[in-house]
Amino acid sequence: MIRFLITLTLTSLSQATPFLGQGVMSGELSDHSISLQTRLTATAELNESGDLPGTEGVVAFEWSLNKDFTPSSTTPFKKALPEQDFIVRTRLTQLQPHSTYYYRAHYGTSKEKVQASPICSFKTLPGENKTHSVRFIIGSCMNYNKFLHGRKANARGPITATPEDKELGFPAFTAMAAQKPDFFIGTGDIVYYDNRFRNAESLPELRKCWHEQFRFPRMIGFFQNVPTYWSKDDHDFRYNDSDNTTDRLPLSQTGIDLFREQLPLPEKSYRTIRVTKDLQIWLTEGRDYRSANHLPDGPDKTLWGDTQKSWLQRTLKTSDAKWKILISPTPLVGPDDASKKDNHTNLRGFRHEADSFFNWLSENQIENLITVCGDRHWQYHSIHPSGIHEFACGALNDENARLGRKPGDKKSTDPKALITQPFLSPKPSGGFLLITADEHLSIEFRDDSGEILYQTQR
């Protein structure tokens, strides 16, 4: 009798209908292709341990130019397996440029027993031969534990998350969705492996950080209609200010592999995207190839690595785009805290490489280039002495925000006030950057409710 009950229970579990507890998302959009992704989960809500366990099953994606899916195409079914954290990802190709597509996931325990996800959408990029206006959003530093637990999680910014917010997720996603962006770029610190409550080290602990955050309804609703590009930084790589030199867990290769497992990424994490005839974007990799942070700064110390640096210079030099945007997980201009040694602005960090890069831009007459960064938990618009403008998107949620450093601050990386700063957020506030690119380049800083704090146009 006991054996019969155990067998019946296991059989029921194996035939249970899976859920899409983290929704469906798309990524690495081009003018002719895109990656689609989902994860099969055993439940729709977090379990008692605060995780969202996965479950085996099958997934296929259907897509069409028409919302009623007539006609449509469907990918072959793929298995959701534990070694991929039950994530299924498929690349669509041979799409039409500047066209809106609708898609949905068909998922279940087998090909014969599936159900359909809500209808999702994306619009392919116009491409290098077409001039069109595009709007996109850049965000960073989504701290789940500070958002949920405030001061108990060492939050430094305003504690504004309501009980409803803690159920639905970061308010910024509602404000961002209202802008109807063509795509979203996450510049790193998407999740935090290290925090006051825990230091995730094992594979289940690391994966849990993604599960607990990406199940928020506001994030699911946003990403099912807004394609994404992602870069990683220290907190979603290993731990604060991490490089590749220690044996502290998680190991650097684990951090690289987990980021690639959880999000749709191309073969190389540094890449360039030709959005339109007028706009080209570069996304750089700041963790995988860097020298040890503790080394003295100089010509042999690099944050980018020689191969990436050569690629960056070559592709910038050959680009004929009117607007060039270099998006880095960490700042190149700042100013930042003088005590740090983790990024291109830091006096004991990688300043030599940044100065050499700015000199190279001037020598090669690279015009209409701006830099955008994440990492810093405040918003700013700064101008380097060479004339390069940098925009920091700030932290996404209030609880993860803080006041920034001004040029001339003795505790900053610019104690002599060589940097010009048209804007520095006057108070700690979560928010994001909204960029519109057409014949002009419009840049708006918004708080997490969508209110414009500062805007400029080039």
Report, as an integer, the average pLDDT of 319-341: 97
Mean pLDDT score across all residues of the chain: 95
Q: Tell me, yes or no, whether 9 lies in a domain.
A: no
Residue 13 vs residue 429, higher pLDDT: 429
pLDDT at residue 6 is higher than 70 = no
pLDDT score at 195: 84
Q: Identity (one letter) of the amino acid at 432? A: F
Q: Does 221 lie in the same domain as 312?
A: yes
Res 10: pLDDT = 34
Residues 425/453, Cβ–Cβ less than 8 Å: yes
Any idea how long the chain is?
458
Q: Is residue 349 part of a domain?
A: yes
- Which of the residue ranges 56-70, 189-203, 287-301 would you say has the lowest mean pLDDT? 189-203
pLDDT computed for residue 16 by the predictor: 74
Residue 218 lies in domain: 134-457
98 and 181 inside one domain: no
The whole-model pTM stands at 0.95
The mean pLDDT of 200-209, rounded to a whole number, is: 97
Angstrom distance (rounded) from CA 156 to CA 457? 32
* Cβ atoms of 401 and 429 closer than 8 Å: yes
Query: How many domains does the chain divide into?
Result: 2
Same domain, 97 and 238: no
175-192: pLDDT as tens digits? 999 999 999 999 999 999
User: Within a domain: residue 79?
Assistant: yes
13 pLDDT exceeds 80? no
Given a cut of 50, is residue 292 above it in pLDDT? Answer: yes
- Is 346 contained in some domain? yes
* Mean pLDDT along residues 120-134: 97
Q: Given the DSSP bridges, would you call strands 134-139 and 183-186 parallel, antiparallel or unpaired?
A: parallel
Does residue 409 sit in the same domain as residue 268? yes
| Domain-embedded: residue 5 | no
Is 245 within 8 Å of 237 (Cβ atoms)? no
Residue 314 has pLDDT above 70, yes or no: yes
Q: Do residue 63 and residue 158 come from a single domain?
A: no
Mean pLDDT of 321-327: 98
Where a domain ends, among 93, 123, 153? 123
Answer with the one of 70, 101, 123 that is the final residue of a domain.
123
CA atoms within 13 A on the CB side of 287: 28
- pLDDT given for residue 219 in this prediction: 98
Residues 345 and 239 occupy one common structural domain = yes
Structural domain includes residue 12:
no
